[in-house]
Amino acid sequence: MLKPGLPKLIATDLDGTLVRSDDTVSAYTHDVLDRVRSAGIRIVAATGRGPRLTSLTRNDIRVADYLVLAQGGWVLDQAEGRYLRQARLPGYAVADVLARIETVTGPLSVMYEALEHDDSPLWGDFDPTWRYPVTVEARTRAECLTGDVIKAFARSFRLHVDELLAVARRVVPADVATVTQAGLDYVEICPAQVDKGTGLAVVAEAVGVDPADVLVFGDMPNDLPMFGWAGWSRVAVANAHPELLAVADEVTLTNDEDGVAVYLDRLLSR
């Protein structure tokens, strides 16, 4: 049931939430988002995509005022063309995290996101299970971790990603790194205190919006922090992960049914 009034800011995940399974965003969704922005409501993309996918992200959500990228580690003010946050994780911290996890799981396949320009390659172990077009430069783990990275992707050869995430949550201290998963076969290793909630908090402070006035949409465990942070309503798409469905205030239609746009259309039409 929709709350009275309107939120002041709307943040939505992209892949699996706003973006359909064929990797497109419908004309209907773009039209509804245009109407939301015309109503004076700020729009934020909150995505696991790193800054190397900024152009793709802008194409998928054209009216976004801010882009919260890399699971919250990079926050781009679109109007000013400047980053409000650029978080990186030291290579030694990634090595520590991998060692802690591999002690339990055995060897992991790992890719590293270190560069921020458009279409930058990932480094590390190419994996044919990766579902998106990507260039991977083959580098040893030691070579990849000589400096800082934006984040790392780790896949187990024998555990389901949810099982791998459970291990990581148990063995990785919060002050070392943040570990989450976003619907691929990988867990993502990000800097400590980096998540979509802390990324959105940077935006909220910049524009003077209280979390109680923020509406969020998501589908995967990486959306849990922003669901815990936002207060106007937390809406999961029907295809969401069970962990997110368990904490959502409301559930809309699936991403393939334009669930975010249908919800917002109803909201604007009241």
What 3-state class would DSSP assign to 241?
coil
DSSP assignment letter at 89: B
Query: Is residue 140 exposed (0-12), middle (13-18) or buried (19+ Cβ within 10 Å)?
Result: exposed
Task: Provide the CA 220 distance to its chain's centre, in angstroms.
Answer: 9
- Would you place residue 131 in the very low, low, confident or very high pLDDT band (cuts 50, 70, 90)? confident
- For residue 249, pLDDT beyond 90: yes
Query: Is residue 153 exposed (0-12), middle (13-18) or buried (19+ Cβ within 10 Å)?
Result: buried
What 3-state class would DSSP assign to 145?
coil
Pick the last residue of a domain from 140, 161, 191: 191
In terms of domains, do 70 and 203 share one?
A: yes
| Six token digits for residue 32 | 């509804």
Place of tokens 């935006």: 203
In terms of domains, do 117 and 149 share one?
A: yes
pLDDT recorded at residue 87 = 98
pLDDT recorded at residue 55 = 96
In-domain check, residue 104: yes
d(CA 162, CA 78): 34
In terms of domains, do 96 and 74 share one?
A: no
In terms of domains, do 72 and 206 share one?
A: yes
pLDDT in tens, 227-239: 999 999 999 999 9
In-domain check, residue 217: yes
Pick the last residue of a domain from 138, 164, 191: 191
In terms of domains, do 57 and 113 share one?
A: no
Look at the chain and report how many structural domains it folds into.
2
Model confidence pTM above 0.85: yes
In-domain check, residue 1: no
d(CA 32, CA 112): 36
pLDDT in tens, 55-82: 999 999 999 999 999 999 999 999 999 9
pLDDT recorded at residue 4 = 64
pLDDT in tens, 23-44: 999 999 999 999 999 999 999 9
pLDDT recorded at residue 220 = 98
- Would you place residue 5 in the very low, low, confident or very high pLDDT band (cuts 50, 70, 90)? confident
Angstrom distances, CA of residue 40 to CA of 50, 170, 218, 268: 27, 43, 22, 11
